[in-house]
Amino acid sequence: MVTCWPVAATIALMGKASRRKKVANPAADYRAPIPFVARPFEGLVREVELVAMRELIPAAMMSARTDAAHDSVEFDIVTLLPDGRSAMLRADGRILIAAQTRANSADLSHDMGAALLAALSAKEEGKTGLIDLDVREPAERLQELVDPTSFSEMEILENFAFWLDPSEEIDDHTRRALEENREEIIETVPVPGVEGMYWCAMNRNFVRYVSTVEENRLFDALARLQGAGKARLSEGSRFVGAFRACGLVIPVFELVEGETAEDIAASAQNFMKALDESLAVQEALSAEERRIKQGLVSRQVTIR
């Protein structure tokens, strides 16, 4: 089923809608749960970007294409859709699949695969709008649907104008809604020259680094750097903790007031070189480094 929604209204109401509480339906038929996958996007060439789109970046998109078995259809993966929905067919027929959604199973790749399949079916029927689907139903995972060579680079955006058909003129109401929505978006930009590292402006400026390094090895390396006084991205910055999301560890650094992504680019690249060297060390941690590692790990939280 596809539901059409006024775009301006969905943009204006998105914040409130995303906070609505779902009411349990005890009469719903039981379904066997989708098996849990700790690292749902593993094996995809854009795993880091997908995790960042899911957990860190307010507005972004990347394009991909289904494999030949699914007719090589181009589509866009985006951070968010109106009302936190999983899929939408834009007015021009373009398929949009969301990384951040209100309804999730235990396998986010399964959920995105289910959304893509539902959108493909709706496209064949010539429908447009938001798409209803039940992520509790079994479906192929994203890895089973997408041509692995087809992913574009991720583009970070200022607002949610990608919900709209780019060939249509934006009316004043929608333009105002987009501007209001833009003001609520946390500014987030990549740190130049460092894959998976994103600067953001909140109450203070922070950098979050999405790492694919195995958790224990990463904390060993960070402990060595911390012990040597090198676990920082710039003079005056500091490591403040880490969180785990989609099976990856994301260290967080607080910057000195006013520092931008461009300001720390060179020192962040130097930090990555030092981290790579620390990861290559084979010797066991010293007693002091083990103590430091325990402190680092104790500050880690799991988002998912």
pLDDT score, position 16: 46
pLDDT score, position 168: 84
pLDDT score, position 156: 96
pTM for the model stands at: 0.87
Neighbours of 138 (CB within 10 A): 12
pLDDT score, position 293: 95
Contact status, residue 121 vs residue 95, Cβ threshold 8 Å: no
pLDDT score, position 117: 98
Place of tokens 């494999």: 67
pLDDT score, position 8: 47
Place of tokens 């394009």: 63
Q: Please give the C-alpha separations between residue 141 and each of 6, 39, 138, 146, in angstroms, as whole numbers.
A: 30, 13, 9, 9
**Below-70 pLDDT ranges, the chain:** 1-29, 301-304
Q: 275 CB contacts (<8 Å, ≥6 apart)? A: 221, 222, 225
